[in-house]
C-alpha cells in the first residue's frame, strides 16, 4: 500500500504549487556553472546496471540478495521494530554527520560518504528553487534512513536498508532492477516532503510508471514534486564538492524551523 495512513500536514500553498512544477526538465546548474552530467563518478551513464564497472558485481549481488530476502513478513517485522523509535535520541544534523561512515553498496553511481551526496542534492535544489526551503531540507535528509546500517541503530545488512524501493505482497513488476521518524517527531514539513523521503528510491514508479494502480489522489499530486526532486537526487552524484562549514548554518536554521531539537529514532 503506497499511502501513508496517518494524518500529515496539508499540502498546498505551503509547498508552493504555483511554481511551474510541470517543468521537470528545467536545466540543472550546480556550483561553479556545472551542468547536468552525462556520466557518474565512474565515467558511466547514471543507473546503468549492466555496464562493466568497479561496482557492477557488488551491485548485482546486492540486488540478488535484496530480492530474495526483502519479503512481506520481513517488512512487517521491521516496521514493528523500528516504529518503536527507541534506538537513539539525537538531532537531525547529528544524524547527518553519522552518514560520513556509510557507503551505499547498491548505488552504481557513487562511492563517497553519503553526507556528500546529501549536501550536493540540497544545494542543487536550493539554487534552482530558492523559495522552497522545505525542499532544500528534504534534499538534506532524504537518505537519513541509511543510518540503520550503523551499530547504534541495529546494524542491519545493506540489503535490508538501501537500494530501490518496490512493493511487497504482490508480484514484481518487470521494471524493477536487480520517513516515518519525521512524522512521529511532529515535523512541520508538508506531505510532499514526506512523500519524497519515502519514495525517492521507488524508480519503478517515478521513472517507469509502474504500480500507479496503488496510488490515490494525494499520491498523484505529490508525485509531481518527487519527479522534480529525483533529477537533483540522481544527477548531483558528482565530484562537485560542498563546503560543509559554509552551508551548515543555513541547514541548521531549516532544521530548527521544521523539527524539534532532538528526535527519537
Q: What share of the chain is helix, strand, coil (3-state, %, to 5)?
A: 50, 5, 45
Q: What percent of the chain has pLDDT over 90?
A: 46
Q: What is the pLDDT of residue 96?
A: 95
Q: What is the pLDDT of residue 114?
A: 74
Which residue's entry shows cell 518527487? 226
Q: Which domains does the chain have, with CATH numbers?
A: 44-264 (1.10.3210)
Contact, 15 vs 222, CB < 8 A? no
Confidence class for position 1, pLDDT limits 50, 70, 90 = very low
Q: Does 263 have pLDDT greater than 70?
A: yes
Is 105 flagged in the annotation as binding?
yes
29/26 Cα distance (integer angstroms): 9
Q: What is the pLDDT of residue 111?
A: 59
Nearest to 189 by CA among 82, 128, 120, 263: 263
Is 132 flagged in the annotation as binding?
no
Confidence class for position 3, pLDDT limits 50, 70, 90 = very low
* CB contact set of 219 (below 8 Å; sequence gap of 6+): 2, 3, 195
18-65 pLDDT, tens per residue? 444 444 344 444 443 434 445 444 444 544 445 555 556 777 888 888
116-157 pLDDT, tens per residue? 889 989 999 999 999 999 999 999 999 999 999 999 999 999
Q: What is the pLDDT of residue 88?
A: 94
115/95 Cα distance (integer angstroms): 10
What is the largest distance, in Å, between two alpha-carbon atoms of the chain? Answer: 48
Is 164 flagged in the annotation as binding?
yes
Which of 53-62, 227-236, 240-249 has the lowest average pLDDT?
A: 53-62
Top pLDDT among 168 and 76 is at 76
Q: What is the pLDDT of residue 21?
A: 40
* CB contact set of 80 (below 8 Å; sequence gap of 6+): none
Is 91 flagged in the annotation as binding?
no
Confidence class for position 7, pLDDT limits 50, 70, 90 = very low
Average pLDDT, the chain: 79
Q: Distance from first CA to last CA of the chain, Å, rounded?
A: 23
Q: Does 4 have pLDDT greater than 50?
A: no
Q: What is the pLDDT of residue 55?
A: 57
Is 142 flagged in the annotation as binding?
yes
Residue 113, all three cell numbers: 560518504
Is 206 flagged in the annotation as binding?
no
Is 104 flagged in the annotation as binding?
yes
208/216 Cα distance (integer angstroms): 18
Amino acid at each position: 500500500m503506497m499511502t501513508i495512513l496517518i494524518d500529515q500536514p496539508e499540502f498546498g500553498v505551503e509547498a508552493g504549487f504555483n511554481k511551474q512544477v510541470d517543468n521537470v526538465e528545467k536545466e540543472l546548474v550546480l556550483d561553479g556553472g556545472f551542468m547536468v552530467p552525462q556520466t557518474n563518478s565512474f565515467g558511466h551513464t547514471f543507473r546503468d546496471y549492466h555496464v562493466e564497472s568497479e561496482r557492477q558485481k557488488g551491485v548485482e549481488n546486492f540486488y540478488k540478495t535484496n530480492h530474495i530476502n526483502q519479503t512481506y513478513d520481513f517488512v512487517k517485522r521491521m516496521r514493528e521494530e523500528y516504529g518503536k523509535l527507541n534506538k537513539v535520541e539525537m538531532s537531525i544534523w547529528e544524524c547527518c554527520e553519522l552518514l560520513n561512515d556509510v557507503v551505499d553498496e547498491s548505488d552504481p553511481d557513487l562511492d563517497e560518504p553519503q553526507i556528500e551526496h546529501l549536501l550536493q542534492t540540497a544545494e542543487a535544489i536550493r539554487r534552482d528553487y530558492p523559495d522552497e526551503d522545505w525542499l532544500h531540507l528534504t534534499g538534506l535528509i532524504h537518505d537519513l534512513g541509511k543510518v540503520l546500517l550503523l551499530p547504534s541503530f541495529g546494524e542491519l545488512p545493506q540489503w535490508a536498508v538501501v537500494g530501490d524501493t518496490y512493493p511487497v505482497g504482490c508480484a514484481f513488476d518487470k521494471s524493477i532492477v536487480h520517513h516515518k521518524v519525521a512524522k512521529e517527531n511532529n515535523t512541520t514539513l508538508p506531505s510532499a516532503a514526506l512523500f519524497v523521503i519515502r519514495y525517492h528510491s521507488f524508480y519503478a514508479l517515478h521513472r517507469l510508471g509502474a504500480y500507479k494502480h496503488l496510488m490515490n489522489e494525494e499520491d498523484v499530486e505529490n508525485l509531481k514534486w518527487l519527479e522534480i526532486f529525483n533529477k537533483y537526487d540522481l544527477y548531483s552524484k558528482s565530484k562537485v564538492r560542498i563546503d560543509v562549514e559554509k552551508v551548515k548554518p543555513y541547514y541548521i536554521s531549516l532544521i530548527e524551523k521544521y523539527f524539534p531539537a532532538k528526535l527519537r529514532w
